[in-house]
Structures are given as structure tokens and as C-alpha cells.
Structure 1
Amino acid sequence: MNVYLHGLSTCVPPHALPQDEVRDRAHEILGPRFKGFDRLAPVFDTSGVRMRYSVAPFDWFENAGGWTDRNSRYMAGATDLYVEAATKALADADWSADAVDILVTVSSTGIATPTLEAQAKGRMGFRDDCLRVPLFGLGCAGGVSGLNVSRELACANPDAKVLLVVIETCTLSFRKARPKKADIIATILFGDGAAAVALSGKKTHVRIGRGASKTWDDTLPIMGWEVDEDGLAVVFDRSIPDFVTQEMRAATDTALESMSLSRDTIGRLVSHPGGAKVVVALEASLELGEGSLDVERDVLRDFGNMSAPTVLFVLDRILKRGDAKGSGKPLLVSALGPGFSAAFTPIYVD
């Protein structure tokens, strides 16, 4: 069965974090606590990030609390983002909320039980018999993995309307009590945002192909969360760009082969821009040509690394720009995340 994209939306929370102001505030808060801060400070200017958005205002970062404070902000901010992203995607699809049959929710930056689609139900007007499928722990790969799961659910339920909502509030992982290098890098890169996709078996001009995934053995420490008294603390291994350079080409070729495609037969890679070095590593590994991932760099510049929804921001811009229209070649949407893993989805545009 074929599955088609009916609506796609993106949104960010209200609090803007210009990178130059983040740099200055970080110097005040983290500089006295982290002896290596001055050595890392230039990365604020070389990261490729110019603006980000947060569910918390600037002042919160000076007095960030523990689990209760962070998760309450996650619950409020993520629910608001859910409602905005879902409402916009449904409007794009010309669907009403009570027409949706399956709700897939991806989020790894807070704990919500009941989950976010239930938190938002009263504001959205979903039916009480919707199938709810929350996905946690996928990190930066969550947007693509969620798209693949949503597609499979649509295939298994031919008459169903499926709504995927992907939300992350990465900025709430900010740490000043235990600043490690990974915490500084997170402060440089992380932003908050959400995206939503409406999909079903009814034909449109954008078809979602069957995806693929890969998880590498013995790579658990590369990326993820550490859990401590303050909440979720980021794990970033310095080897990520080198890992991408060494491994992504073979993983991509294997995924494409499973889709009866090759790098020669795809029109464009649509990638999660985890950071400037990762984008460069992707271009090198896949022989794309320097600067070819221009939209990825633009999204990183304008929003930072929002984890799971970021790649859907890239896809939205590429579809609006019309890169794949009329080319006869599909887009390949991809992202790397904890596991360490990769997820891929082909997108065909008529």
C-alpha cells in the first residue's frame, strides 16, 4: 500500500535566544564554573547557529531548578507546541481533529504520563477512540523513525488518518552545577521546536516510501541522556563527526539498496543537521560536494539543533523550495540518533 503526505507543519516556542546573547550569558553563568570555558567559547561563533528558541525565558537559565521545575516547563511548553504544530498540520491537510484515527507522538526531552497527545486532547478535539502511539528515547533520529512508524501504521490501517507530532524541548537540559564539555556544546547548539505530519493512504503529490534503519553494535555511549538529580543531562561523544565520516556511506548505501535505490538515483539527501561538523562529515562521507547541504545549514543557523523535529524543518523548506518536483528522483530523509542508530525514509514528489 502507498502512503501519502497530506500536511506538514513546523513551529517554535516564544522565547528567542540570539546566539550572541547566549554566548554572553553563558560566559557569566558557566565561565566561573568550568575552567575550560574560554577554550570552548569561540565555538559559539563557529557553530553555524545564530538564533534558537526556548520554552523558558532567558532568566530561567540563571536559576534552573531540578526535575520538578524542568519537567513542569516541559509539560507546559511541549503541550503548547503539540497543539500549535498539530493544528497547523491538520489545516494544511484540510482535516478536522476528530477525523484523525491514529496519533503518533515523538518526544525524548521530558516525561509525560499521560502522554502529550492526551494532555492536548481537550484543546485539540481528538476522538476518544484514537489509537495513541507515544515514542520515547529516539533522540535526534526521532523525526525520521517516527515517520517510518507512522507510515507502517497507515499501511496496516488503509482507511486511517495518521497524525505524527514530534516535539523536543532540548534547552531544558541546561546545566550549570556540573558543566562538562558536552553541557557546553549543548548550550551552544540546542533549541526547542516541534513539527507535525498528516499522512494516509489517500493519494497526494507527495508519497512516503518504506524506510530503513540501522543500529551499530557497541555504540551505546555515543549519544543519549544521563539521569541525575537535576533531570536529563546530555551525552555527546566527541567521535560523532568521525563516526559519520567512517560509517554513514556504507549505512546509507545499504538502506538505499533495501529500497531498490542508490545514491545515483536519489535527488537529494534531507538530513538532520546535528551540528556544523556533522554536516561537513555527511557531505564528505556521501561525496555530496562541499556546501550541498545548504538548507540543513540554514535550519541550523535559524533554529539550532532541536533534536528530533529538526529534519522535518529541513524537509518542509526543501518541499516548499521545490527541489524534487519534476526531477523523477526521490528525496532521502535521514537522521542519526542514540543507539547509535540511523533512520532513513524516501520521499517521492510528483
Structure 2
Amino acid sequence: MTVAYINRIGTAVPEYDVHGTFIHFADQILPDRRTRLLFQRMVQRADIEHRYSTLEPSDNPEAEVDRKGLYQMCRFAGTGARMAHFEAHAVELAQRGVESLGLSEALSSITHLVVASCTGFTAPGLDQQLVDRLGLSPSIERTLVGFMGCAAAVNALKVAHHIVRSEPSAKVLVVNLELCTLHLQETPELEVLLSALLFGDGCAASLVTARPEGIALKDFRVVTIPDTSDLITWRIGDSGFKMSLSGEVPPQIARALRQETMRNDDQGILRGHSKEEYDLWAVHAGGRTILDAVEQGLGLGPDALRWSRDVLREFGNMSSATLMFVLKRMMQHAPSPSRGLAMAFGPGLVAETFRFALNG
């Protein structure tokens, strides 16, 4: 059976660090001192130092969040204006991510393109824009993985995995592109602003082929946690896409993972293996409390999720691109050979997982 490998991973983020700008915005809009103090306490505990955006911060933050005026106080832009910004700027960031792979002339030999995004929609889409920008074959096979949230990183790799296994000569370019900061909401609701505190923009591009180099992709498995469908929602509104991220998500993840470790048969997340048999844990950096929940639920040591925590601290949660940032660091710095388990969480509440081997 043909094995699919992630041969390379490239990443890119926009130039503007907006973490402090967005915190200042929330501090202005929260209704009272008690709520502001609570928000500031959560900021300190978030373990995030930087988040990047395609939106340049304004010189007049009391009147508007960004220079373009998308987020003017009391006049935040509607969904149409936000999608126009996505159409204009997403392809630029995606192109930078692909170029960081260093494929140059080899791009002409790419046979399949898989694009994952949940933060913007246009037609012609980002896939067709990239074909034009990168000079890819006009007959390239294209697949869009849309609106599946943070877990879409795994779904996009799953598509590439199946393509390579069915067509061993395939060269699959996978692009995860998210402009999360296009969906800032002007609301005094603390839970909504705390969700916005997590997210930044980013792009990851990867090359998946049958060439035995890099990360070998093994079995994929998804687990849906019962009675949790309302804990993560992502709905299109008149003022952008509205994220709802319940505080119940971390305890539900911890509980489900504890049950998985007790169950531990060949149909479970651990595939019947003990946690000690895994050298690497590539976990989507959805937030500090998410990573804490995984660590506690699986009973992992304090350094097991250091790759994920580093990505969270330096970039925040970039939705579907985030897990690929984690895997890139493992490719660069983790010992080889290593056996790993990757997982990401998304609306459902689902845990999308796969095993992998780092071969160097």
C-alpha cells in the first residue's frame, strides 16, 4: 500500500502584529470596570504574545481599530466589505506561504491542489486565484475544504493522503489559509471578545507525495463527543462570521480524552497503544485551556505539548493553519525517527486525528 508523506511545510503570516490593538479595542468596549479587569486577567493567562493580521492598526485607536476603516467605532463593516478584503488579500498571503516551500520550477508538476479555509468565500475562489498567481497547470485537480473550522487541517491532509494512495505519482499542494481577524465583532459580550482574543491570520502550505521523505501519514480517525454540538459554532452574520466558543469546550475535551485512555482499544484515538508509545503530540493550538485539557485528559508530561504552546504564544490560533505550524516545527527540530499522534478540534464537537511517523 502506497504511503503518503508530507515532504515540506511552508508558513507565512501578515506583517501587522495586532494583538495589543485588539486588546485595547476590547478594553474600550467592555461595559464596566469589573468586566475589564476580568478580561485583562484572561489576557494574562492566555499565553499569547503576538497575533498577526492583514489589517494595519490605526493611528487613532479611539476612533477605529484599523487604518482601512473596516472597524470604525459604532460602524463596523458588514460581511460584504469583509469578504472583499478577503478576496483582495488572502491570495497574497497564500502565495507567500506556497513560495516558502521553495518549489520554484517544480510547481508546474503539481497535479492536485487542496485548499482549506473557513474565514472567507469568493468565486472564483482562492484555489483558482492560486492557479493564476503561481502558474499552476490550468487542468490541475482542485478541492476546497470549507467551513470546517480548526479541524480542517486534518481533513485537508486526509484528502491529500487518499489522493496519493490512489495515484502514487500525484503531487498534492495543500494550502490552509485563514484571515480570522476579519471577523472581529463590536459587542460588549465578554465571551465573544474572549474568543476574539485567541485568533490571528496565517497560512500554511505543504507538499504531499509518495516520496519517502518527511512525515509519513498513517491512519486517520474522527471522534465526535456526544451532546456537544452547540459548544463551538461558526455562523455567517450581517457583520462577519460569528464565533461562539463555550467555556465548556476544555472540560468536555478533557473528559472525552480520559474516557479514550480508559477505553484504549484499536478503534479509539490511541489505536490501542499506550501514550508512552507516542514520541510526539501534534495538537492544534486552539488556546491555553484547550492544550491544558489535552494534557490533563491524556495524562501527558509538562513538555509534551511544547511545540503547540510555542506556536500559540507566537501566533495565536490561526484556525486550520495552526496544526501545520506545529508539524513544521517538529519536522525542523524533533528527533528522528519518532512516532506521533496529531489532533485538532472543531465544531461538532469533533476530534480529528491521525498517526504519523517522522523519518527525517
2:208 is matched with 199
User: Is 1:68 equivalent to 2:80 in the alignment?
Assistant: yes
**Is 1:49 aligned with 2:48?**
yes
5 Å-filtered alignment, 1:294-313, equals: 294-313=306-325
3-state secondary structure, aligned to 1:194:
strand
Q: Does 1:335 align with 2:344?
A: yes
SS of 2:17 mapped into structure 1: strand
**Residue 152 (structure 1) aligned with residue 162 (structure 2):** yes
Q: Which secondary structure state, in structure 2, belongs to the residue aligned with residue 319 of structure 1?
A: helix
- With 135-144 and 224-233 compared, the bigger mean Cα shift is at 224-233
User: Is the CA contact (8 Å cut-off) linking 1:103 and 1:164 kept in structure 2?
Assistant: yes
- 5 Å-filtered alignment, 1:50-199, equals 50-59=49-58, 60=66, 62-63=71-72, 64-89=76-101, 91=102, 96-176=106-186, 178-199=187-208
Mapped to 1, the partners of 2:31 and 2:254 lie a distance apart of: 35
Which residue in the other structure is 1:228 paired with? 237
Q: Which residue of 2 aligns with 1:4?
A: 5
Give the 3-state SS of the residue equivalent to 1:277 in structure 2: helix
Contact 2:30 2:188 in 1 (8 A): no
Aligned residues of 2:233 and 2:245 also touching (Cα < 8 A) = yes
- Are the counterparts in 1 of residues 30 and 189 from structure 2 also a CA contact under 8 Å? no
- Code of the aligned partner of 1:215: T
Kindly indicate whether the alpha-carbon contact (under 8 Å) linking 1:13 and 1:77 is maintained by their aligned counterparts in 2.
no
Structure 1, unpaired ranges of 5+: none
Is 1:24 matched up with 2:35? no
Residue of structure 2 aligned with 1:320, choices 315, 332, 335: 332
Distance 1:315 1:16, change over 3 A: same
1:308 deviates by 0.9
Shift of the 100–34 alpha-carbon distance from structure 1 to 2, 3 Å rule, reads farther
8 Å contact kept, 2:30–2:190: no
| Change beyond 3 A, Cα 1:248–1:114 | farther
The answer as to whether partners of 1:139 and 1:224 remain within 8 angstroms in 2 is: no
- Per-residue CA deviation, residues 132-189 of structure 1 (Å, 9 max, x unaligned), is 100112111111221112111111111110011001111111011x342332112311
1:40 aligned partner, one-letter code: F
The code of the aligned residue for 1:136 comes to: G
Q: Are residues 293 and 261 of structure 1, via their aligned partners in 2, closer, same or farther at CA, if it must alter by over 3 Å?
A: same
Q: Deviations over 1:74-119 (max 9, x none)?
A: 2222211211112222x1x576222111110000011122221102
Judged with a 3 Å threshold, the aligned counterparts in structure 2 of structure 1 residues 205 and 11 are, in CA distance, closer, same or farther, namely closer
What residue number does 1:255 align with?
A: 269
In 2, distance between residues paired with 1:232 and 1:288? Answer: 35
CA gap of 1:185–1:198, structure 2 versus 1, over 3 A, is same
Q: What RMSD in Å do the two structures reach over aligned CA positions? A: 2.0
* Structure 1 residues 110 and 251, CA gap change in structure 2 (3 angstroms): farther
CA distance in 2, matches of 1:33, 1:172: 26
Q: Which runs of 4+ in 1 moved over 3 A?
A: 32-38, 249-253
Alpha carbons 1:280, 1:290 under 8 Å: kept: no
Q: CA deviation at 1:71?
A: 0.8
| 2:62 match | none
- Deviation sequence 1:314-342 (CA, Å, 0-9, x none): 1111221123x13xx41111111112111
Q: CA–CA distance in 2 between the matches of 1:18 and 1:48?
A: 12
Q: Residues 79 and 238 of structure 2 are in contact (CA less than 8 Å); yes or no, is this contact kept in structure 1? A: yes
Q: Are the counterparts in 2 of residues 151 and 210 from structure 1 also a CA contact under 8 Å? A: no
The one-letter amino acid paired with 2:48 is V
Alpha-carbon distance between aligned partners in 2 of 1:111 and 1:37, rounded to the nearest angstrom:
34
2:61 — aligned with what? none
Tell me the amino acid that sits aligned with residue 148 of structure 1.
K
Check conservation: 1:148, 1:210, Cα contact below 8 A. no
Matches within 5 A, 1:217-296: 217-251=226-260, 253=264, 254-257=268-271, 261-296=273-308
> Whole-Å Cα distance in 1 between the matches of residues 156 and 105 of structure 2?
20
TM-superposed CA distance for 1:291, in Å, is 4.1
Which amino acid in structure 1 is aligned with residue 247 of structure 2? Answer: R
* Displacement of 1:225: 1.1
Q: Secondary structure at the match of 1:224?
A: strand
Q: CA distance change for structure 1 residues 204 and 109 in 2, over 3 Å: closer, same or farther? A: same
| CA 75–182 in structure 1, closer or farther in 2 if over 3 Å, else same | farther
- TM-superposed deviation, 1:205: 4.4
- Larger deviation, residues 241-250 vs 100-109: 241-250
